[in-house]
Amino acid sequence: MASSRFSFLPPLLLAALFFLSSSNSFPIADQQWHPATATWYGSPDGDGSDGGACGYGSLVDVMPYKARVGAVSPILFKDGEGCGACYKVKCLDQSICSRRAVTIIVTDECPGGYCAFGKTHFDLSGAAFSRMAVAGHGAPLRNRGEISIVFRRTACKYRGKNIAFHINEGSTDFWLSLLVEYEDGDGDIGAMQIKQANSVQWLDMKHVWGATWCIVGGPLKGPFSIQVTTLSTKRSLSARDVIPKNWSPKATYTSRLNFS
């Protein structure tokens, strides 16, 4: 995995690369529990979807996503802008449910069935659903099918990880498509901008689907700096020259920054 090409910067300048764009931002963690329903899909002890509507692909099969993935109804999916958000969920029947909440990451959409008609619904991987039960009761809980749960938003924490940018297959010097990975804090994305080599102008990227954003134009010249603004609290982070001049499709480039 390639790394961004940050030089050693003075502390004040380095701090300027990580800033809040809104003085009205607030902690993403929600202390209030809200009602919802939940089901599970995939194999009983599996990771759920293989990829999913957010576009994370094989990431859902490895840590830290592994066994924490969930599909959500449109009210939480938000046309893909809710991808990457983290929630704590727990079930309510004290005879079978653990008091401990399970943290899940939005990686997929559940558009119909239990998730239709404006419902707040989580369709969890078999592993995540089972973890809501007390030890040894995962199977009986799964056998109940749809259950009542409570949920609340929580900050995402990818320990030891910084924000990374995966260049999607098919990207060219005239169409550049990026997938954002391992975003601490809000987890979601409300806007993205890109700055080309030897330029002071930030160009708006377009939300395509899931956690994927793109820019059309060109020829586009790297290295590229990327600015990510979260959907929920409007915090912004700028990674300078994170994508090198000789970038490659299907490569992932990791910054030295994150929101935590």
Mean pLDDT of the chain: 85
Please give the residue that has the higher pLDDT: either 19 or 132.
Answer: 132
d(Cα 184, Cα 189) in Å, to the nearest integer?
11
Residue 254 in contact with residue 4, Cβ under 8 Å?
A: yes
d(Cα 61, Cα 51) in Å, to the nearest integer?
8
Residue corresponding to tokens 């998730």: 115
Checking if the pLDDT of 5 tops 60, the result is no
Least confident span in 5-14, 156-165, 202-211: 5-14
What one-character DSSP code corresponds to residue 196?
-
Residue corresponding to tokens 């094989």: 58
Name beta bridge partners: 19: 236
Using pLDDT thresholds of 50, 70 and 90, give the confidence band for residue 19.
very low
Give the angle subtended at the CA of 12 by the CAs of 10 and 17, to the nearest 5°: 100
pTM across the whole model: 0.84
Checking if the pLDDT of 10 tops 70, the result is no
Using pLDDT thresholds of 50, 70 and 90, give the confidence band for residue 56.
confident
Q: Which two tokens stand for residue 42?
A: 């995939």
Checking if the pLDDT of 133 tops 70, the result is yes
